[in-house]
Amino acid sequence: MQARLPTIDFSAAEPRWLPAHGPIGHLLNGASILLPYLEPYLIRVMKLARPDVAERAPQLLEDVDIFNQQEANHFKVHATYNEVLRARYPGLEVFEEEIKQDYRDFIANRSLGWNLAYCEGFECMGLVLAEFFLQEIDDWLEPADPAVAELWQWHLAEEFEHRAVAHDVLDALHPGWWHRVRVYVETQRHLFGFTQRVAEHFMALDRERGEVAVDAEIEARERVNQRRITRFFLPRMFRILLPFYSPHSRPMQEPVRRRLAQYEA
């Protein structure tokens, strides 16, 4: 594992960046708004856990440090892209204030075990999204905005690379299937609820401005795309609930390896 930092120029980036499937493009825009709050929180939790890791699983320390470096790079580059989103879509401050408070509250009022399980829940989801984005939807990315597509390709390739770190830390410090699964469900509800509401905000503004064409053909195509997402995500999300689930069981595939190698020259 290593941290890589690409230079991506967002000066001409288009927020409606995924014309093949607008709603998923905006859902990922919603995630992008979340990440400069979520990823510093992940780093904070890992730092809080570090003394226990040093004592009980010192073999994980190096991974934890690289995980933190990668997440720090991710949220900084997302923050640059988010400037583009803020310039085009007013009203995001309310969402940002809300999520900032949520993560403050989690650190202040929840146990380290709960926070570690939240981090693991997010990382499990990141792994599924990475597999989908990097291995399944080349046809959607063909007409996508190149800067925003690259942001997600780089980010998700590193998410895939560090897929097991949060899981291993949780397993070493706070093992237990019920604990993991209970917080996993809470985590998905929190993450998806937030990103969905931000995505709705983007789409409402697009509609208000008359920027989205809606006809029967587009609606039919979006239904097909939606089914494709559901078919991919549902069984994988379910597998995470199983007692012996481990991200170690997901081997790195060629598209991810290629993407990572691109930044290693």
Q: How far is the CB of 1 from Fe ion (least distance, A)?
A: 11
Interaction between residue 159 and Fe ion (CB under 5 A) = yes
Kindly tell me which of 74 and 259 has the beta carbon lying closer to Fe ion.
Answer: 74
Question: What residues have CB less than 8 Å from 113, skipping those under 6 apart?
Answer: 173, 174, 179
CB of 78 to Fe ion, least distance (A): 8
The site that binds Fe ion (CB under 5 A) totals a number of residues, namely 3
Stretch of residues binding Fe ion (CB under 5 A), selected from 103-111, 151-159, 176-184, 229-237: 151-159
Interface segment toward Fe ion; rule CB under 5 A; list 11-19, 154-162, 177-185, 221-229: 154-162
Residue nearest to Fe ion (CB): 74
Q: How far is the CB of 127 from Fe ion (least distance, A)?
A: 9
Q: Are 255 and 161 in contact (CB under 8 A)?
A: no
If you search the block for the tokens 């093992």, which residue do you land on? 175
Euclidean distance between CA atoms 3 and 69, whole angstroms: 6
The CB-of-75 to Fe ion minimum distance in angstroms stands at: 7
Between residues 25 and 121, which has the closer beta carbon with respect to Fe ion?
121
Q: Residue 65 or residue 200: which is nearer to Fe ion going by CB?
A: 65
Comparing CB distances to Fe ion, the nearer of 24 and 45 is: 45
For 225, residues 6+ apart whose C-beta sits below 8 A from its C-beta are: 20, 21, 24, 140
Window 58-87: residues binding Fe ion (CB under 5 A): 71, 74
The number of helix segments (H) and strand segments (E) in the chain equals 10, 0
What would you measure as the largest C-alpha separation in the chain, in angstroms?
60
- In terms of CB distance, is 18 or 43 closer to Fe ion? 43
C-beta closer to Fe ion: residue 26 or 78: 78
Structural tokens at position 189: 């509800």
The residue range among 56-64, 153-161, 178-186, 234-242 that interacts with Fe ion, by the rule CB under 5 A, is 153-161
**Cα dihedral 52→56→59→63 (10° resolution):** -30
| Cβ pair 41, 103 in contact under 8 A | yes
Alpha carbon of 61 to those of 56, 75, 259: distances in Å?
10, 21, 25
Which x/- pattern, by CB under 5 A, does the window 104-123 give for Fe ion? --------------------
CA atoms within 13 A on the CB side of 64: 27
- Is the Cβ of residue 74 or residue 190 nearer to Fe ion in the bound state? 74
DSSP-derived secondary structure letter, 111: -
Q: In angstroms, what is the minimal distance from the CB of 158 to Fe ion? A: 7
Q: Which residues bind Fe ion (CB under 5 A)?
A: 71, 74, 159
